[in-house]
Structure 1
Amino acid sequence: MSALRPVVHAPAGTIVGRQLKGVRRFSGIPYAEAPTGARRFAAPVPRGRLPEPFDASRPGPTSQRVPLSATTTVPEPSVPGDDILNLTVTAPAADGDRTPRPVLVWIHGGGFLAGSPASPWYDGRAFARDGVVLVTPGYRLGVDGFAPLDGVPANLGLRDLLLALDWVRENIAAFGGDPERITLAGQSAGAAAVLALLSSPAGRGRFQRAVSLSGGFFEVTGHGFLERLAHSLGVPPTRAGLGAHPPGRLQRAVLDLRTEDDVLVLGPVVGDDVLPVPVADGLTRHGHDVPLLLGATADEFDSPADPVGRAAGTRRTDTVFRAACPAAATARRTAPAGTWLYSFEWPSPVSGGAAHCTDLPFFFDLLDAPGVPEALGPNPPAVLAAHMHADLTAFVRGGTPAWGRATGGHGDPARAYGTPVVDTTGGYDPVVRGTGAGTC
């Protein structure tokens, strides 16, 4: 096999990927059976061993059929196909060093309704360059992943992610990764999924570190919205009624029915074996052996120039996103593994603020990715990306952040990224400061 088509022999089977500029990428590897037919509203079933060498040279199908909006900050391609429970592994090229590499499992955002693991903003080449294996799984979204339907296991999207973590633990050594050094990370809804699994008894032992970027406690009841959704489709709010429509039709109907006030209409629900109690309560009981790094952007959704929009956004930023930082730290104040906070504060010249998602190209060190100039302008500071990516990579490798732990108190230390400093370079060195009451 050509060096440009690397081959991995894993417990899951023989997988043939692609190699470019020192990075091996294995895309679209199925970790579960396709959730179609009788499996559509059922717990995920592990994929059997692949009978033939699997061509992992292109992105696999995505759960997203309809983007969250016509224009999204993060480029989010939809890939057709039924085998949506797949993942991509990006690893350093084989160089003779057999030392197992730390693993970062990345969960994409999208309000539990949309989003794509195939986004170029989640390209793992910078992590591979720095000796980290990146895994990006897909999971069920919207009604198929998070609708609380009678006779259907709750939190199917979270169950998908738990099974993906099991696949990683069983197979990642074949890609050079260390199954005992897995960091679970995500942004927005993906970060909320991280906090949910950290708070869950089902998450125990499946990952060793956790990172939440702009996450929160996003549990929803969902029943009222489901009734409205079913009424709009002319069907009963049941598995049979909603299941009569394909996932793409349901995704479009959900997005059409949402309003400006509907921040979250579907998401994790409380009361099953995955989330027996609310996330905040679960964090007081579980995951105390898992170090947690979490934070938010300074503005999230309050970048609009008009005062009314900015005021509404500020309320959403503080109550939905930034308030989750001290709340999580408070819940984990006795956790021996520790909790650390950050705040992303670099104002994009495009949005006029440190808006939701604009920290991602910095943490991934991908300022050259498609869509970055449209979101960050032509010259986002590379030195800031170097600092942020280095901090995240060091945490994934097992390092202790250089600033103090947070326990939920006023004045907890937080790493502030993007505040201009006066120095010889005119750069954006991170600073550490005390947090304000109730936010990070």
Structure 2
Amino acid sequence: MVGTHDGEVRGRWREQGKTRSAAFLGIPFAKAPVGDLRFAAPEAVDAWTGVRDALEYGPTPKRGEPDSGMIPEQVVPGDSTLNADVFTPRPGDTEAGLPVLVWIHGGGYYEGSPASPWYDGRTYNRDGVVTVTLSYRLGFDGFGWIEGAPANRGVLDWIAGLEWVQRNIREFGGDPDRVTVSGQSAGGGAALTLLGMECAQHLFSGIHSISGALGDRPKEEAIEFARQLGQQLGVEPTAEALRAVPEDRIYEVQQVLDTPPGLDYLKSMVQDGPLLAPVVDGELIKRPTFESYALGIGADKTLMLGATDEEFLVLTMGQSKQFQQVPLAGLLDSVGLSGDVQHQYVQAHDDYVARGNAAVLGRYLSDGIFRSTVVRAARARSGERTWVYRFAFVSGSYGLSGHCLDVPFWFDCLDSTDVALHTGENPPQALATAMHSAAVSFIATGTPGWPSWAEDAGVVEVFGGTQAAVRSHGDFDDVEMLLDQPFRR
């Protein structure tokens, strides 16, 4: 049992080999966002008396069936969806002062769940790191522009969760002054967003962004999306009117509006990012994230970031025959890559040209959304206190170094649910050891063990090539021609 500022919670000890750690699941950090609170800023929970069981994952903002994507993520019904899960080797030891990892899950800002065996913190606990996973409102409920409601409610949820960590983590053995925020995909984008927010700087000391998909949606576009959604629903896009619309109906309409037909969808993914994502509202998020970095926001924080080699090839390789029937130049024109930039890009990716049009298109999605973001972030910060990696391991199951494939390596959980299904049989433990050790070092000491971008411009730690980890240079040079493109990220 551990006493939080809101009341006592009861967790469960777990044993795995020589590792003993405790899990406290489903602890609410804010009231249930339903009724009058549905589109409100997160509100502090009421204190309770007695002991509250924290033995099962709490309700998740994700509804319906579990995702069919790579990461096994549980869907839990219920209203009280704003919860923290804490994994710790030293519950109740307020003097332990262990470093803390706070994990924000991905899912494009409209899917995903913190309740996944891949996100269990037991291996970080083994290595002396307290781990917390946070939930947040998704889709339109979390990020849609609504008249009469605060913008960026999902972002406010991240902040409320991090504030809960600051108030309570010492009771779980953690040090509130050594908090690293990490996440993958949208969760990695969340971490990058927080790094550029003045009002969030006191909540963490470091950021680990894994395949970060940045939002930075312009306010005007968010307002227009809300107008279209209200029109489809037959209501005004106001908080009062939308509270009467069931979640599943809003979800159904947002899916249609967020998925333009054909290649327009791929073009939108690269150039604009997700339609439902953090909005540059001028108040909470004052300016685009990289502009904030250039102004020095977050410069005193550490940042480790990177991407997989072939994040989104899986989206295009299933249509190889169709894409091969279209001239490559026309195909790339359709997704916004043309002229001299297209020529330079094709020349820099002759190995993908040899694999066919679908491979080039998939690599372009990977570069435009993820890999160029790595370089933009490092340069916006002038490389200061910034470390860059590249994930190059190729799945034995589908022959790609794809999106989400690196997560079980960072968590050193190769024996977890469905991992071998995606990595192939006998995934290399040496790679998981190298990556997890780098993450633990970064969380505990502020450096992952290789030179920073400022110390050695262009230096990259490559995970998963012929060896578990090798030092390299110039691994992101093949996105150089994309850096001046008017991408949102």
**Counterpart residue identity of residue 10, structure 2:** V
**Counterpart residue identity of residue 199, structure 1:** G
**Counterpart residue identity of residue 113, structure 1:** Y
Aligned match for 1:436, one of 438, 455, 476: 476
User: Aligned equivalents of 1:111 and 1:16: distance in 2?
Assistant: 33
Partner of 1:162: 159
**Deviation of 1:406 (Å):** 1.6
**Structure 1 range deviating more: 235-244 or 171-180:** 235-244
User: Aligned equivalents of 1:141 and 1:438: distance in 2?
Assistant: 34
**Deviation of 1:302 (Å):** 1.4
5 Å-filtered alignment, 1:9-408, equals 9-21=3-15, 22-66=20-64, 71-93=68-90, 98-220=95-217, 221-259=221-259, 260-261=265-266, 263=269, 264-285=274-295, 286-303=297-314, 304-305=316-317, 306=320, 307-333=356-382, 335=384, 338-407=385-454
**Deviation of 1:121 (Å):** 1.1
SS of match in other structure, 1:205:
helix
TM-score with structure 1 length normalisation? Answer: 0.91
**Deviation of 1:401 (Å):** 2.8
Conserved 8 A contact 2:93-2:173: no
**Structure 1 range deviating more: 109-118 or 7-16:** 7-16
**Counterpart residue identity of residue 364, structure 2:** R
**Counterpart residue identity of residue 433, structure 1:** H
Judging changes above 3 Å, is the alpha-carbon distance between structure 1 residues 125 and 430 closer, same or farther for their aligned structure 2 residues?
farther
Judging changes above 3 Å, is the alpha-carbon distance between structure 1 residues 407 and 26 closer, same or farther for their aligned structure 2 residues?
same
Gaps (5+ residues) in structure 1?
Answer: 1-6, 422-427
SS of match in other structure, 1:134:
strand
Per-residue CA deviations over 1:324-362 (Å, capped at 9, x if unaligned) read: 111111111174xx1010010101022311101000000
**Counterpart residue identity of residue 51, structure 1:** T
**Deviation of 1:407 (Å):** 4.7
SS of match in other structure, 1:104:
strand
**Deviation of 1:418 (Å):** 0.4
User: Aligned equivalents of 2:459 and 2:479: distance in 1?
Assistant: 12
**Deviation of 1:68 (Å):** 8.3
SS of match in other structure, 2:230:
helix
User: Aligned equivalents of 2:240 and 2:373: distance in 1?
Assistant: 36
SS of match in other structure, 1:25:
strand
Conserved 8 A contact 2:88-2:173: yes
**Structure 1 range deviating more: 295-304 or 341-350:** 295-304
User: Aligned equivalents of 1:141 and 1:95: distance in 2?
Assistant: 32
Conserved 8 A contact 2:129-2:440: yes
User: Aligned equivalents of 1:429 and 1:195: distance in 2?
Assistant: 25
User: Aligned equivalents of 1:420 and 1:438: distance in 2?
Assistant: 21
User: Aligned equivalents of 2:359 and 2:230: distance in 1?
Assistant: 34
Conserved 8 A contact 2:10-2:52: yes
**Counterpart residue identity of residue 276, structure 2:** L
Conserved 8 A contact 1:12-1:171: no
Partner of 1:3: none
User: Aligned equivalents of 1:93 and 1:102: distance in 2?
Assistant: 12
Per-residue CA deviations over 1:267-293 (Å, capped at 9, x if unaligned) read: 000023220101111112311110100
Partner of 1:8: 2
**Deviation of 1:67 (Å):** 5.7
**Counterpart residue identity of residue 281, structure 1:** E
Aligned match for 1:412, one of 458, 466, 477: 458
Q: Percent identity?
A: 39
**Counterpart residue identity of residue 31, structure 1:** F
**Counterpart residue identity of residue 250, structure 2:** L
SS of match in other structure, 1:430:
strand
Gaps (5+ residues) in structure 2?
Answer: 260-264, 321-355, 481-489
Per-residue CA deviations over 1:410-436 (Å, capped at 9, x if unaligned) read: x61011100014xxxxxx333333333
User: Aligned equivalents of 1:128 and 1:253: distance in 2?
Assistant: 41
User: Aligned equivalents of 1:147 and 1:281: distance in 2?
Assistant: 23
**Structure 1 range deviating more: 308-317 or 255-264:** 255-264
User: Aligned equivalents of 1:77 and 1:253: distance in 2?
Assistant: 23
**Counterpart residue identity of residue 132, structure 1:** V
Moved over 6 A (4+): none
**Deviation of 1:192 (Å):** 0.7
Judging changes above 3 Å, is the alpha-carbon distance between structure 1 residues 44 and 293 closer, same or farther for their aligned structure 2 residues?
same
User: Aligned equivalents of 1:231 and 1:407: distance in 2?
Assistant: 50
User: Aligned equivalents of 1:246 and 1:58: distance in 2?
Assistant: 26
Greater helix share, 1 or 2?
Answer: 2
Conserved 8 A contact 1:102-1:182: yes
**Deviation of 1:314 (Å):** 1.4
Conserved 8 A contact 2:186-2:214: no
**Counterpart residue identity of residue 294, structure 2:** T
Conserved 8 A contact 2:147-2:237: no
**Counterpart residue identity of residue 147, structure 1:** G
SS of match in other structure, 1:121:
helix
SS of match in other structure, 2:313:
coil
Larger radius of gyration: 2
**Counterpart residue identity of residue 313, structure 1:** G
Conserved 8 A contact 1:34-1:85: yes
User: Aligned equivalents of 2:28 and 2:308: distance in 1?
Assistant: 33
**How many corresponding residue pairs?**
424
